[in-house]
């Protein structure tokens, strides 16, 4: 291998960038192993923490001896005071509530709130959004790229214009519209606003521009309808671009905190993973960082795995459609 200063500097910068990007992930995974005390005091206990046994306060509160129990026990030890008996019983409870921080964090991740349900909701919402987006975007992109009709350029400039509208700007009217038709706290509220993805239309249109017209003409000559051309000819050629779009779409909606937070106000069963995480927050009255980080780790894992699997296709897709 030739040694080149330029290459070395380039790689050094890239490695530095990668470290900056990975640092929060490192902290997240590391915190998911640690106890509240280690996290809040910033104790230097390494990546896995000290794993010193902690007392699960919730478990203690749940098992707190009831008055009746104290009275019954008091009858057995008449020489002791009520307070003594209470403390003895409480110590017994505490003994059964000790845990290693890593178990406490991951166990509360799944028991404190129905995380599996949230993950399922995440899958339902992201998959529905993506499928509908494809059903809308493919024909639209095909028409904008390959068909000649009056106002095509204007329609395309509208698509470009819509790319410029930030969702937060239209969140309020969207919310009111959904509220008026009684759709808040439903799956529909989570899905409908995202079904038309102008980004998807734009991306697919750019890709279809590169598909030779001959392919389409051949299809037409064989008597295919326009729609069967879209689904049987264009769709298979567009798989790499679709995969790239899938990653954008799925990541954006799997991780979306803003919109679910607005439209799902109290229906726990509809929580998506990111707003589910909110349940572990209680402001100054005791946010549980350990379980929150455990939940975050659980939530991002499927995405990272999916990206690793589709990495090559993903990069292909981006270069195919975006760089032309």
Partner 1 sequence: MKTKYLSTLLVALLTLPGSLLQAKVVVEFAYPYSQLFDVTYEKILPKFYEAHPNIEIKMRAAYENYEDGTNTILREAVANKLPDITMQGLNRQAILVEKGIAKSLEPFIAKEANFSKDGYHSAMLKLSTFGNDVYGLPFSISLPVGYYNMDVMAKAGVKSVDDLPKTWEEVIDVCGKLMDAGVKNPMFWGWNITGNWFLQALMWSQGQGVMENGKFMIDTPEGLQALETMKSIFRGCKMPNLSTSDGSTLFTSGEAGMFFWSTSSVASVERAKADFDFKTNGITSRRKCCYDGKSIRRS
Q: Which residues bind partner 1 (CB under 8 A)?
A: 36-37, 39-43, 57-58, 61-62, 68, 175-176, 178-179, 182, 184-185, 262, 265-268, 271, 278-288
Tell me how far, at minimum, the Cβ of 318 lies from partner 1, in Å. 37
Looking at the Cβ atoms of 22 and 176, the one nearer to partner 1 is 176
Looking at the Cβ atoms of 11 and 61, the one nearer to partner 1 is 61
CA distance linking residue 116 with residue 295, whole number of Å: 11
Tell me how far, at minimum, the Cβ of 288 lies from partner 1, in Å. 7
Q: Which is nearest to 174 in space by CA: 156, 159, 199, 196?
A: 196
3-state secondary structure 251-288: HHHHCCCHHHHHHCCCCHHHCCHHHHHHHHCCHHHCCC
Tell me how far, at minimum, the Cβ of 190 lies from partner 1, in Å. 14
- Assess contact for 33 and 47: CB atoms under 8 A: yes
Cα 320 to the center of its chain, rounded Å: 26
Looking at the Cβ atoms of 57 and 222, the one nearer to partner 1 is 57
Task: Say how many C-beta atoms besides its own lie within 10 A of residue 220's C-beta.
Answer: 12
Tell me how far, at minimum, the Cβ of 62 lies from partner 1, in Å. 6
Looking at the Cβ atoms of 276 and 317, the one nearer to partner 1 is 276
* Torsion 306-21-283-262 (CA) sign: negative
Tell me how far, at minimum, the Cβ of 91 lies from partner 1, in Å. 17
CA distance linking residue 146 with residue 100, whole number of Å: 62
Looking at the Cβ atoms of 113 and 129, the one nearer to partner 1 is 113
CA distance linking residue 181 with residue 188, whole number of Å: 11
CA distance linking residue 101 with residue 31, whole number of Å: 10
Looking at the Cβ atoms of 142 and 256, the one nearer to partner 1 is 256
Question: Where in 54-113 does DSSP place strands (E)?
Answer: 54-55, 98-99
Looking at the Cβ atoms of 17 and 182, the one nearer to partner 1 is 182
Tell me how far, at minimum, the Cβ of 298 lies from partner 1, in Å. 19
- Assess contact for 296 and 25: CB atoms under 8 A: no
Tell me how far, at minimum, the Cβ of 29 lies from partner 1, in Å. 20
Tell me how far, at minimum, the Cβ of 189 lies from partner 1, in Å. 9
Looking at the Cβ atoms of 139 and 256, the one nearer to partner 1 is 256
CA distance linking residue 200 with residue 205, whole number of Å: 8
């Amino acid at each position: 291998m030739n040694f080149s200063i330029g290459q070395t500097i380039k790689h050094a910068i890239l490695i530095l960038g990668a470290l900056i990007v990975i640092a929060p992930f490192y902290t997240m995974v590391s915190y998911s192993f640690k106890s509240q005390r280690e996290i809040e005091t910033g104790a230097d206990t390494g990546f896995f923490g000290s794993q010193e046994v902690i007392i699960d306060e919730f478990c203690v509160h749940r098992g707190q001896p009831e008055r009746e129990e104290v009275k019954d026990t008091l009858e057995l030890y008449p020489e002791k005071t009520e307070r003594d008996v209470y403390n003895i019983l409480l110590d017994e409870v505490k003994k059964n509530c000790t845990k290693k921080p890593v178990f406490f964090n991951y166990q509360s991740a799944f028991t404190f709130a129905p995380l599996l349900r949230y993950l399922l909701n995440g899958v339902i919402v992201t998959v529905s959004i993506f499928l509908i987006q494809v059903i809308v975007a493919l024909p639209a992109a095909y028409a904008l790229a390959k068909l000649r009709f009056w106002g095509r350029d204007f329609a395309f400039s509208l698509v470009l214009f819509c790319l410029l509208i930030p969702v937060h700007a239209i969140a309020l009217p969207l919310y009111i519209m959904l509220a008026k038709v009684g759709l808040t706290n439903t799956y529909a509220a989570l899905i409908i606003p995202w079904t038309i993805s102008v980004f998807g239309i734009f991306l697919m249109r750019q890709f279809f521009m590169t598909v030779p017209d001959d392919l389409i003409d051949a299809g037409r000559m064989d008597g295919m309808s326009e729609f069967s051309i879209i689904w049987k000819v264009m769709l298979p050629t567009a798989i790499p671009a679709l995969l790239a779009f899938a990653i954008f779409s799925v990541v954006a909606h799997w991780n979306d905190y803003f919109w679910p937070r607005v439209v799902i106000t109290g229906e726990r069963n509809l929580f998506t993973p990111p707003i589910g995480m909110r349940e572990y927050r209680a402001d100054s009255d005791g946010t549980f960082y350990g379980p929150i980080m455990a939940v975050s780790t659980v939530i991002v894992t499927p995405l990272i795995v999916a990206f690793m699997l589709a990495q090559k296709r993903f990069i292909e897709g981006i270069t195919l459609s975006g760089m032309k």
